[in-house]
C-alpha cells in the first residue's frame, strides 16, 4: 500500500480501478472523464513505476 500511495493520483486511481476493482478501460474512461487510451497508458505507466519501486526496495534489502 505504501508504494501504491506514492504513485501519482491518476496512475493510482486507474491501477486501483482496473487491477483491484476489476473495471474495464471503457468504464474507467467514462468514470474519470478521460479517453480509453489515457486509461490504458496510465495503467501501463503505473505498473512500470510499481515494478521499479519494488526492485529498488528489494535492492536496498540486500
Architecture of the domain defined by 2-61: Orthogonal Bundle (1.10)
pLDDT per position as a tens digit, 8-35: 999 999 999 999 999 999 999 999 999 9
pLDDT of residue 2: 84
pLDDT of residue 62: 67
Mean of the per-residue pLDDT values of the chain:
94
pLDDT of residue 1: 78
Single pTM value for the model: 0.89
Q: Residue 19 to residues 16, 30, 46, 48, 57: CA-CA distances in angstroms? A: 6, 17, 11, 14, 22
Longest dimension (CA), the chain: 43
**What whole-number distance in Å separates Cα of residue 60 and Cα of residue 32?**
36
Amino acid at each position: 500500500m505504501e508504494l501504491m500511495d506514492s504513485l501519482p493520483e491518476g496512475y493510482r486511481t486507474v491501477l486501483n480501478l482496473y487491477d483491484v476493482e476489476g473495471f474495464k478501460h471503457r468504464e474507467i474512461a467514462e468514470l474519470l472523464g478521460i479517453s480509453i487510451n489515457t486509461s490504458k497508458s496510465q495503467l501501463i505507466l503505473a505498473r512500470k513505476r510499481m515494478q521499479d519501486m519494488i526492485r529498488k526496495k528489494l535492492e536496498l534489502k540486500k
